[in-house]
Amino acid sequence: MREIMYRDAILEALDEEMARDDNVLLLGEDVAFIGGNFKTSVGLYEKYGDLRVKDTPISEAGFVGMGVGMALTGLRPIVELMFSDFLLIAADQVVNQMSKIRYMSGGQATVPMVIRAPIGAGRSSAAQHSQSLQAMVAHFPGMKVVLPSTAQEAKGLLKSAIRDDNPVIFFEHKMEYTNKFDIDDDVELIPIGKADVKRAGDDVTIVATSSQVMKSLKAADKLAADGISCEVIDLRSIVPLDRDAIIESVKKTGRLLIVDEAYERCGVGAEIAANVMEDVFYYLDAPIARIGTPNVPLPFSPALEFPIIPSEDKIIEKARALTVADA
């Protein structure tokens, strides 16, 4: 194994897939000359040239639509958005074109396309550049929605996404880019739709996405010192959703805490809670709890921003409350 930054794992996945398949190409704002806003494509322009690593104008609707056209002609475009917030600018291309073409053509046309989009708060990027929009795109059928937590997941899941014949929205948490992780020397493909139990436990199931997985693992370490055993599940993707992994864990622990940075209203936590209630209601020893971002715009001020987003302390507090509720 070796230590690597999250952003470099993404770069390696892009490089390896572009070397493997000449149909794979990258386009987006500043992906070529400066190597990406978060330095995830450094050196690719010099290696693969202008036809395969393309800087685009500031026109998300235009270049996302161009990516759809490329995919329909047999290419495998990877479209990088500078922030996930900009999905809203290209919403028609994403939810009315990219996601529906395979179904509307009766399977005659495929759209093997990946949209990479940074999510998350913590950088004082304010209300228009800090949102986590995974629940929004998950609402629309026809797309896979992936949220890698570590460098290993980032590389293995991105390679799988690029090879998938369906459109994939690939959310990268901007606070993880420069964090270092241990990674296998040879990372295998990680199947999309398969959750991973990062830590086994008996008292509380914590289901988390993206950077919240690492916060949950740190919280679980501290809770273990108090005699509370947490099982931490990294969802990896929310479409497809690995319901079986969640349900089997809840059957064992009897308690469920869902941690996702998106807005709480109509969020990932609500969807998972509904799934669990339908299948294993009578296994629950306490009400399902969830942690998300309150339904307010993300503040610019760090003094206002950090108190409203999920944190290690909030996870500890909620997990303890679940065990107290049972007692």
CA–CA distance, 203 with 59 (Å, rounded to integer): 49
CA–CA distance, 95 with 92 (Å, rounded to integer): 6
SS3 191: coil
102, 116, 129, 236: which one is catalytic? 129
Chain centroid, CA 85 distance in Å: 14
CA distances from 181 to 5, 99, 160, 220 (A): 6, 33, 20, 18
CA–CA distance, 315 with 273 (Å, rounded to integer): 17
Residue type, 194: K
DSSP 36-58: -TTSSSTTHHHHH-TTTEEE--S
Instruction: Check if 129 is active-site.
Output: yes
CA–CA distance, 263 with 16 (Å, rounded to integer): 35
CA–CA distance, 4 with 45 (Å, rounded to integer): 22
Positions annotated as catalytic residues are 129
